[in-house]
Structure 1
Amino acid sequence: MPEVLVVGAGPVGLALSADLRARGVDVGVVERRGDTGGGTRAIGIHSPALSLLEACGATDGLRAEAVRIDRGEARADGRMLAEIRFDRVRARHPYVAALPQSDTMRVLAALAPPVRRGVTVTALQHDGDGVHARTSGPDGPAEIRAGVVVVASGWAGRDLVYRPGAVRTHHYPDRYVMADVMASGGPVARVHLERGGVVESFPLPGGRRRLVAWAGSDEVTDADAFLRDAVALRTGVEVDIADASTFGVRRAVAPALRRGRIVVVGDAGHEVSPIGGQGMNLGLLDALTLAPLLAPWVRRGDDAGLARWERDRLASARHAARLAFLNTVLGRAAGPAPHAVRTGALRALLRGPGGAVFTRAYAMRLDRAAPGT
């Protein structure tokens, strides 16, 4: 019987299991997907998560493969609104480490216990000082008993913990188109807030950039053509687009993250818009601040700190949801007058005292898990 069973082997589940393994905790990991998957969205790991990932030895491996983004630009109408300097934030890692999520998972998987893939958890049931997890997989139905179960399986795992309707979800009307392309631009993140909608451009290793463009509320029939035209019209940059994908966004924050010996982390407990890069980092901070509390809980029944952990993580999730809502609103198309007002207000905010607060917010420095908060 493992001391802790982690349900889900995405970045959050792998980070948690790697950290627990480094602390000597007997941890099992199950994942319903048979492989690690292909295209993913999350690319940036912020300073608080990088600091906490040092405990399991992942930070050096991630930094070795990532592009370090220490500066960002907010632009509109071909002009710079303001420069965002992550390298001026007082932090152990004053930058964003940008690398494809698949590479993040590979680094974490090398430090985590082996993952049992193709195993779906169908139900969780408390049993005294442990939890029974009923599963289905290649060998048929089975059961795993663990001292604590942590659900890190994304939104699809909510039904294991919450009653239907317990986690209210807001679906935004906005659609986005995304692709990774070969493009110049150096290690600088750029956000173009244009009349036709936002275009984000983030550096990736190997001379690539992640492009994301607002696409309104209608389905996009030709994602490649849409993104190519949107980038050209809104930023003046010509790029070749292939294999673009579309996605929508939603917002949800669960009322609780713990039920007995079942704990929820990451998107299973809260979802925010990926625009702005908060989602994966929010989940990583859930997991990496939970890890040191689990060993005393499963071994001695000492649950000190769990109530505060839950309060802090829910508060951080609500803050991230508000920031994600602001990102979504600012990224929509606007008429000439509203666009001028928006641009002027942002220029004044970012070039004044509010610029430092804005930078700290986007660097996850306002999260309850960040040192000094």
Structure 2
Amino acid sequence: MLPTHTDVLVVGAGPTGLATALTLARRGGEVIVVDQLGSPPVTSRAAVVHAYTLEVLDRIGAAAPLIGQGVRAPRFTVRDRDRVLLSVPFHQLPSRFPYALMVSQSVTEAVLTERLADLGVRVRRPCRLSDLSRTADGVLAQVDGAGVRARFVVGADGLHSTVRQLAGIGFTGPSDEESFVLADVRVRSALPRDEAALFLARSGPLIWAPLPDGVVRLVAAVPAAPAEPDLAYLQALLDERGPARRPDRVTEVLWGSRFRVHHRIADTFRAGPVLLAGDAGHVHSPAGGQGMNLGICDAVALGTALADVLGGGPETLLDDYTARQRPMAEDVLSFAAGLTRLATLSPARRPFRDVLLRLLGALPPARRQIALRLSGLSHRERTPG
């Protein structure tokens, strides 16, 4: 049975909701986490945790146990079939985590859930939020027909956020959407197993990301993704977009799925005592692996601000949160859209694109700036602590 009162009700138990709750719990805040799913998903889109996100996770005691379960990738490459157009070095990043950590989102969620459990907080599921109403001292939430009074409510419930809709916050962006196929596979491949790659193809981008135990995560933009991509479909994708001289051979499909993405952002991340984080506030293409990373950064920034307010600080700290994180989300949306446009340029413009990327790759300052941008470290100055 749910408690009837709490400091903060977090709706959604993905990485964003879990990281928000963990940040609060470590500061002594009373927090309830609910999720409408009966059990955590074992499949997920995100497969990379960038350097800045690891720094953020380290603040809440979650980086070390996660690093032990992932693959460290010291570089990221942009390719056109067999040609490496750009190699982005992560090993020289100004961070204690000079790499991208390749690890499934389900593992990230498991680590955060375990850290929360150590503090006596468990995710309550399945629990469905049906209504929010303002009160004199916060919010009355209806969860599975029972009332829960909270000083603040955090919407970390994804693209179709019930919290965002109940709070009346707009979610704007282009009406068109992108269709993606994703799968975890085993492949015979000559590509390095410590390097993520983005293949730019006229038909759309293909992300090739190595995971532990010899698994490779494939994510590709396609016109109409099948519900369950099979080996033949995924092999055709690699034949069309991946290496040509020494082509990959898919030997096993562990799981496959599809998803659709709009490029959208919430009009605000705060409506009084209701706050948004992660996909509830911003969604975009997975190109560059920025989505979950930005959500975790939202989470720790918001959890810190809420803990400060609960400790007696001014509520203007919550306005500071939205003023800081929303521009970061706008920047990430623009960056992800730009990567997709690079992949889908017309044949006549692709030679110019390739020359430009190779020129950038030959300039150390340019390579460094791209590495800072991909790793999230370019946003470091925007987040205190």
**What is the TM-score with the length of structure 1 in the denominator?**
0.91
Q: Does residue 32 of structure 1 match 2:50?
A: no
Alignment counterpart, residue 282 of structure 1, candidates 294, 308, 313: 294
CA distance in structure 1 between the partners assigned to 2:228 and 2:279 by the alignment? 29
Q: Identify which range, 296-305 or 343-352, moves more after superposition.
A: 296-305
Question: For 2:142, which of 129, 134, 139 is the aligned residue?
Answer: 134
The range that moved more, 48-57 or 203-212, is 48-57
Is the alpha carbon distance of 1:21 and 1:173 closer, same or farther for their aligned partners in structure 2, counting shifts above 3 Å? Answer: closer
* Matching residue of 2:127: 119
Deviations 1:166-186 (A, max 9, x none): 211324454332211123532
Q: Which structure 2 residue ranges, 5 or more long, are not aligned?
A: none
Q: 1:109 aligns with which of 109, 113, 124?
A: 113
Alpha carbon RMSD of aligned pairs, Å? 2.1
Contact conserved, 1:179 with 1:241, CA < 8 A, in 2?
Answer: no
Q: Are 1:338 and 2:312 counterparts?
A: no
For residue 272 of structure 1, report the CA deviation from its aligned partner.
1.6
Secondary structure class of the residue paired with 1:110: helix
- Between the aligned partners of 2:111 and 2:288, the Cα distance in structure 1 is 23
SS of aligned partner of 2:378: coil
- Deviations for 1:273-292, whole angstroms, at most 9, x for unmatched residues? 11211111111111101222
How many equivalent pairs are there? Answer: 365
Task: Give the counterpart of 1:264 among 276, 298, 302.
Answer: 276
Percent identical = 33
Q: What is the DSSP-based 3-state SS (H/G/I as helix, E as strand, rest coil) of the residue aligned with 1:153?
A: coil
* Corresponding position of 1:230: 237
Contact 1:48 1:370 (8 Å CA) reproduced: no
Change (3 A) 1:222 1:18: closer
> Equivalences for 1:68-217 in 2 at 5 Å?
68-112=72-116, 113-136=121-144, 141-157=145-161, 158-163=164-169, 166-183=170-187, 184=189, 185-215=192-222, 217=223
1:49 to 50, 53, 56: 53
1:50·1:59 contact (CA, 8 Å) conserved in 2?
Answer: yes
Q: Which residue of 1 aligns with 2:8?
A: 4
Q: Could you tell me the TM-score, scaled by structure 2's length?
A: 0.88
Secondary structure, counterpart of 1:307 in structure 2: helix
Q: Give SS of 1:154's match.
A: coil
Matches within 5 A, 1:283-302: 283-300=295-312, 302=314
Q: Aligned-pair distance for 1:270?
A: 1.0
Of 231-240 and 87-96, the range deviating more from structure 2 = 231-240
Shift in Å, 1:302: 2.3
For residue 366 of structure 1, report the CA deviation from its aligned partner: 2.2
Deviation at 1:315, TM superposition (A): 0.5
**Structure 1 stretch 342-351 or stretch 315-324: which is displaced more?**
342-351
Shift of 1:301: 5.7
C-alpha contact 2:10 2:156 (8 A) present in aligned 1: yes
Query: Mind listing any 5+ residue stretches in structure 1 that lack a counterpart?
Result: none
Distance in 1, Cα, partners of 2:106 & 2:327? 29
Task: Measure how far apart 1:30 and its partner are.
Answer: 0.9
Give distance in 2, aligned partners of 1:172 and 1:344.
30
Task: From the superposition, tell whether residues 253 and 226 of structure 1 become closer, same or farther in structure 2 (CA, over 3 Å).
Answer: same
Which position in structure 2 is the counterpart of 1:327? 339
Q: Which moved more, 1:184-193 or 1:320-329?
A: 184-193
